[in-house]
Amino acid sequence: MPICNPFRAFQTGEHGVRWPDEHPEPIQMEVAMRTITLVLFSVAIVLMACSPEPGSKAWCASMDEKSAGDWTANEAGEYAKSCVFTTDD
């Protein structure tokens, strides 16, 4: 059976031998991986945009609702600096 894609034999290193049909093309795998990466990156951006900025009043209110045992050290420090020891100039 002739090879339809001339680069296919070069990629396998075996001239004239086709890959089994159940294996996707390397180009298809690359496109799929890039698509998955783009989707995951987009979801991360959307989730980051939904959370209030650390130090803001909305963030202080959300931290008040969150159990103190679930805070990270950075969150605890920012809470103390921005929500407890505030200076109103």
Task: Provide the whole-model pTM.
Answer: 0.43
User: In the prediction, which pLDDT does 85 show?
Assistant: 85
- DSSP string of the chain? ---SSHHHHHHHT-TT-PPPTTSPPHHHHHHHHHHHHHHHHHHHHHHHHHSPPTTSHHHHHHHHHS-GGG--HHHHHHHIIIIIS----
Q: In tens digits, what is the pLDDT along the chain, a chain of 89 residues?
A: 454 555 554 455 455 555 555 555 677 888 889 999 999 999 988 877 777 888 889 989 989 998 989 999 999 999 999 998 876 65
User: In the prediction, which pLDDT does 10 show?
Assistant: 47
- Where exactly are the structural domains of the chain? 25-84
Q: Are 78 and 54 in contact (CB under 8 A)?
A: yes
